[in-house]
């Protein structure tokens, strides 16, 4: 006896590329962050190409071993552990989507294990390096005023570079000394900034004219919104100019440095969590560990008992 098909789309030969495109369309429909969709697109495309090169064209032929083998191939090409984990998150989400849509007949992610990322202590700027970096922009020029304001604001608010470049004029309150940023997961949060950052922001704001509320606050020479890549490139240039060595000169390092300094200056982890925009304390603990390492180094230099009682090392 004839009967209707439960899922008409599953009855057709759905390729991995078909499933990938539908997965991305669903991500856009859910209004996920642009960076998240770009991440999904890049890693799912890499997975689809890997499958094609290994003779796996259709979604119904996918197995859990294919997920593991794809990640192994990434490790073998020297990709960073963080990138491999990002790819793992993508193909896991893609596979679960395919199973729910009945394109993949079995739940191939049931025994899938996310790859671990080594907990590496990130080197941060010391005080001299910070002063040199913040002093590198030429404040006699408009671009120098802009860059000094951006660098100081990122250090003081601990905001991500994408959050700072995403600021519109209406998101910046110079009188209240606060910014409203759009963080991960489309979550807004208000972040205060101090008097020094406010001074740099005021100087930059006075150098720009005809800005409307919905215009980007930090702009390029052509009046367009600054990009994350622009800020990263600018920081590298200032790092070379300031002769900073032994630490990567990047917006992420600046965020790490600000978080560590916040803890060292007596800030609490719950306030730090809100400033950073993290939903849990897992990542915040890493900043506490950074501060702990710095405390140990400082104690080794200035130990009260050692400085009093330790015999000088013979030369």
Question: What backbone torsions phi and psi does residue 219 show, to the nearest 5 degrees?
Answer: -125, 160
Please answer whether residues 40 and 83 qualify as being in contact, where contact means their C-beta atoms are separated by less than 8 angstroms: no
Q: How far does CA 35 lie from the centroid of its chain?
A: 10
Lowest mean pLDDT among 41-50, 198-207, 258-267, 296-305: 296-305
- Smallest Cα–Cα separation from 183: which of 120, 97, 255, 114? 255
Q: Distance between CA atoms of 125 and 260, rounded to whole angstroms?
A: 10
Q: Distance between CA atoms of 22 and 6, rounded to whole angstroms?
A: 19
Q: Which pLDDT band holds residue 120 (cuts at 50, 70, 90)? A: low
pLDDT over threshold 90, residue 270: no
Q: Can you give the residue ranges of every domain in the chain?
A: 16-100, 127-301
**CATH classification of 16-100 is 1.10.150, yes or no?**
yes
What is the second-level CATH architecture of the domain 127-301? Answer: Orthogonal Bundle (1.10)
Q: Count CB neighbours of 52 within 10 A.
A: 13
Please answer whether residues 153 and 147 qualify as being in contact, where contact means their C-beta atoms are separated by less than 8 angstroms: no
Q: Distance between CA atoms of 308 and 291, rounded to whole angstroms?
A: 25
- Alpha helices of the chain — where are they, by DSSP H? 16-29, 34-53, 64-76, 81-100, 127-135, 142-157, 161-165, 195-206, 228-241, 251-264, 269-276, 282-302, 304-309
pLDDT in tens, 139-196: 999 999 999 999 999 999 989 999 999 999 999 999 999 999 887 777 888 999 999 9
């Amino acid at each position: 006896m004839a009967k209707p098909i439960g899922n008409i789309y599953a009855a057709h030969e759905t390729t991995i590329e078909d499933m990938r495109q539908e997965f991305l369309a669903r991500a856009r429909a859910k209004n996920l962050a642009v960076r998240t969709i770009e991440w999904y697109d890049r890693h799912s495309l890499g997975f689809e190409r890997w499958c094609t090169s290994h003779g796996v064209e259709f979604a119904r032929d996918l197995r859990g071993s294919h997920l593991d083998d794809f990640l192994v191939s990434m490790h073998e090409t020297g990709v960073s552990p963080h990138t491999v984990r990002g790819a793992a998150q993508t193909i896991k989400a893609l596979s679960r989507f395919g199973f729910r849509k009945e394109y993949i007949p079995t739940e191939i992610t049931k025994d899938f294990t996310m790859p671990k990322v080594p907990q590496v202590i990130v080197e941060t700027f010391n005080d001299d390096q910070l002063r040199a970096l913040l002093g590198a922009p030429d404040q006699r020029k408009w671009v120098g005023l802009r860059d000094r304001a951006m660098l100081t604001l990122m250090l003081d608010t601990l905001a991500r570079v994408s959050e700072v470049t995403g600021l519109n004029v209406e998101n910046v309150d110079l009188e209240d000394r606060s910014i409203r940023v759009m963080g991960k997961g489309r979550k807004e949060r208000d972040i205060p900034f101090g008097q020094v950052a406010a001074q740099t922001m005021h100087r930059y704001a006075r150098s720009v004219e005809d800005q409307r509320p919905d215009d980007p606050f930090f702009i390029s020479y052509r009046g367009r919104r600054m990009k994350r890549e622009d800020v990263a490139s600018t920081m590298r240039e200032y790092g070379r100019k300031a002769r900073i060595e032994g630490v990567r000169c990047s917006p992420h390092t600046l965020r790490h440095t600000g978080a560590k300094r916040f803890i060292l200056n007596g800030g609490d982890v719950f306030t730090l969590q809100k400033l950073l925009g993290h939903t849990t304390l897992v990542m915040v603990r890493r900043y506490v560990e950074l501060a702990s390492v710095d405390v140990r180094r400082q104690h080794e230099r200035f130990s009260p008992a050692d400085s009093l009682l330790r015999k000088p090392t013979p030369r």
